[in-house]
Structure 1
Amino acid sequence: MPFPSLKIGNIVARIPIVQGGMGVGISLSGLASAVANEGGIGVIAGAMIGMSEPDVGKNPREANIRAMRKEIRKARELSSGVLGVNLMVALTNFADLVKTSIEEKVDVIFSGAGLPLDMPKYLKEYYEDKKEQANTKLVPIVSSARAATILCKKWLSKFDYLPDAFVVEGPKAGGHLGFSPEELNDPASALENVVPQVVEAVRVFEEKHGKKIPVIAAGGVYSGEDIKKFLDMGASGVQMGTRFVATHECDADERFKQAYIDAREEDVTIIQSPVGMPGRAILGKFVEEARQGLKKPFKCIFECIHNCKKEESPYCIAAALLNAKRGNFDKGFAFSGSNVYRVDRIVSVKELVDSLTAEYDAACAKA
């Protein structure tokens, strides 16, 4: 049985797979366009996207806007498929990047690490005096039915707008997690429990307002069998990050990808990030030294995250992630999902999608 398509309003992805947005340069135009070309939704991450611009230290605002524009346009040149961006609410330049993405007419804006309470405002402002219809879809990332309900109510009351879809991210995801450390191992937080709850919560709004709001399951989705499991629970698609890092087209350094291949199950660990949230990462020298209280002196020049506790922080999260992206693991570490230890080789995006399709087919045949 072939994959069903993923419809978000009038935008249709041929397969129900969203590539997770991975910041500080892991998923840029290279990876996003490759995924879009295979029928999924390719996603460019906005977090610290301007790090390679020559003037980022002196003029971070302009550097990030310019890099965002550049990456969206580059991805468009490489693909006619569905392209999205991932923008963390916690970014100090969140509004700039949302406006830039809307101006560039990106297909989907995914937004988490906080509730994007005002996102429809930017869409409405941009299209206020224009004859054309807005086509960019707004998709919040949540980790509970309560958060989904709050956003639906807020957006309706303030903007008369409902989210175009939701990504529901469970505790097995990589990077910063929307759970307390205690909730990470609580069965109530498991993606298998939360997805049906969010599907149920949004159904109320779908029925009342006549708008389909697809739910996309994320965090620990690894195989075609997993995809079938979540589609059977009522999800319309899945988001996968870790699997796409170990591809030739991923924008990270080869040493970063190798860290995924080398990771063992016992290397996957939870860290307390300087931004005040738990995060899932691969254990290494840098993380161990930070845990021992060894400080990595730094001067914050980027001011990238609103809630970063830089005065108390033992290191700069942006610098650590950028160093790892460039393959320098003495001065950084890699975020990853809980299943990273299952990754054993680097493949092309096409090979990955083909293998997921075959696994999905096999799971459907067995059912």
Structure 2
Amino acid sequence: MINSRICDLLNIQYPIFQGGMAWVATGELAAAVSEAGGLGIIGSGQAPADWVRREIQKVKNRTAKPYGVNVMLMSPFLEEVMQVIREERVPVITTGAGNPGKYVLALKEIGTKVIPVVASVALAKRLERAGVDALIAEGMESGGHIGETCTFPLVPQVVDAVKIPVIAAGGIVDGRGLLAALALGAEGVQMGTRFMCAEECVVSPKVKEVILKAKDRDTAVTGRSTGHPVRCIDNRFTREFAQMEKDGVSPVELEKLGAGKLRIAMVDGDVQNGSVMSGQVAGAVTRIEPAAAIVRDVMEGAEREIQKMSKRFTF
């Protein structure tokens, strides 16, 4: 049994987080992952507070185990969403796109654990001083908005810089990734792309088809000229965006082009003209299966790798 401080801190069985992906990580998926022993996370994105409350209720109706909500700190509904989180006494929140420091004290008062996503050592140190409970160090292999450092260089540097638990994210898809993260000093992993192909994920079936067909080089990064790079499956939209960047189109116009494209893909199923945010591990996702099977496969895979290593190497 692989256990770590993060399991004890959050009262979860396995050190596996499901990424809080906007338009993807609904209550159905989060509940299934939590019930399986990991930490399911609702992706609030830029959704209004009443939507977030409905998804929280879905989770509560399906499992009594801990769960989380991912909060985008640039959301226009941020204050209302934070109020819902306090009222519903959400056990865990993960955060992105900012510093949650101003909310930490109020959340701690109701027992909510605060775990921000970071892409740099400097931000990790700043957030530890702000009193957060743990950190998710996310490398640029991940889908969606990314930083500039890969997972392998980032995670050990963050681990060495802070005393609180660190979760590794970006490029992790199986038990081998979990073991690699633990070797780097992380105390758990967050996975997004593989959970997009969970049976309980309500994303458009066309999105799942695209991920299953993807190869190792089928993602593209756009938006570097805007300061907010994003990794997606390469398609008509990413190529149009890249050409506009090459032509020197202003960041304002590029942001207009990207507006609403995530929903177009994930909900409407337009996988050519929408933004199919996915990590580089898409090529390693080969089947649609229950969330519980994914969690079990990662844990059992890690155990198998430990046994293989004991035969190959002398420690």
Shared topology, TM-score over 0.5? yes
Deviations along 1:92-134, one digit per CA (max 9) or x if unpaired, are 222322221122111111011223232215437xx5xxxxxx2
Paired position in structure 1 for 2:312? none
Specify which of 29, 37, 40 is matched with residue 39 of structure 1. 37
Question: Which of these residues, 142, 145, 149, is aligned with residue 118 of structure 2?
Answer: 142
Is the aligned partner of 1:167 residue 2:127?
Answer: no
**Cα deviation, residue 6, structure 1:** 5.3
Aligned twin of 1:89:
73
Q: Post-superposition shift, 1:148?
A: 1.2
Question: Match for residue 170 of structure 2?
Answer: 219
- The residue correspondences of 1:114-125 to structure 2 (distance < 5 A) are 114-123=98-107
Question: Does the C-alpha gap of structure 1 residues 149 and 247 become closer, same or farther in structure 2, counting only changes over 3 Å?
Answer: same
Output one character per residue of 1:300-348: Cα deviation in whole Å (capped at 9) or x when no partner: xxxxxxxx9545535143x211110121224312000111112122111
1:87–1:112 CA contact under 8 A, matched in 2: yes
1:363 aligns with 2:268: no
Contact 1:249–1:348 under 8 Å retained in 2: yes
Distance 1:339 1:291 in 2: 22
Contact 1:5 1:13 in 2 (8 A): no
Are 1:200 and 2:160 counterparts?
Answer: yes
Within the candidate set 209, 221, 231, 1:270 is matched to 221
Structure 1: where are the runs of 5+ without partners?
50-63, 128-133, 156-161, 180-188, 204-212, 295-307
1:305 equivalent in structure 2: none
CA contact (8 A) 1:140 1:166 kept: yes
1:14 and 2:13 are equivalent in the alignment: yes
The yes-or-no answer on 1:320 pairing with 2:261 is yes
TM-score (norm 2): 0.89
CA-to-partner distance for each residue in 1:173-212, whole Å, 9 max, x for gaps? Answer: 1100133xxxxxxxxx332222222222212xxxxxxxxx
Cα RMSD for the two superposed structures: 2.2
Return the letter of the residue paired with 1:265. D
The whole-number CA distance in structure 2 between the counterparts of 1:146 and 1:273 is: 21
Per the alignment, do residues 8 and 120 of structure 1 end up closer, same or farther by CA in structure 2, a change over 3 Å counting?
A: farther
Change over 3 Å in CA distance of 1:229–1:92 after alignment to 2: same
Q: Deviations over 1:243-270 (max 9, x none)?
A: 1001111120111111111222232111
Aligned to 1:339: 281
Q: Does residue 249 of structure 1 match 2:216?
A: no
Letter in structure 2 aligned against 1:325: M
Which segments of 5 or more consecutive residues in structure 2 lack a partner in the other structure? 310-315
d(CA) in 2 for partners of 1:200, 1:75: 35
Q: Given the superposition, is the C-alpha separation of residues 260 and 104 from structure 1 closer, same or farther in structure 2, using an over 3 Å criterion?
A: same
Q: Distance in 1 between matches of 2:195 and 2:107?
A: 30
Return the match for 1:231 from 182, 205, 213: 182
The amino acid that maps onto 2:302 is Y
Alignment match, 1:67: 51
Kept in 1: contact 2:72–2:96 (CA 8 A):
yes
Q: In 2, distance between residues paired with 1:163 and 1:106? A: 15
Indicate the SS of the match to 2:199. Answer: coil
Distance 2:124 2:16 in 1: 21
The sequence identity of aligned pairs, in percent, is: 33
Distance, in Å, in 2 between the alignment partners of 1:325 and 1:341 is: 18
How far apart, CA to CA, are the structure 2 residues paired with 1:220 and 1:151?
Answer: 24
Contact 1:21–1:43 at 8 Å: present in 2 too? yes
**Once structures 1 and 2 are overlaid, which stretch shifts more, 113-122 or 25-34?**
113-122
Q: Which residue is equivalent to 2:89? A: 105
Letter matched to residue 357 of structure 1: M
Question: Aligned residues, how many?
Answer: 304
Return the structure number with greater helix share: 2
Indicate if the aligned counterparts of 2:199 and 2:288 stay in contact, CA closer than 8 A.
yes
- Once residues 157 and 167 of structure 2 are traced to their aligned partners in structure 1, the CA distance between those partners, rounded to angstroms, is 13
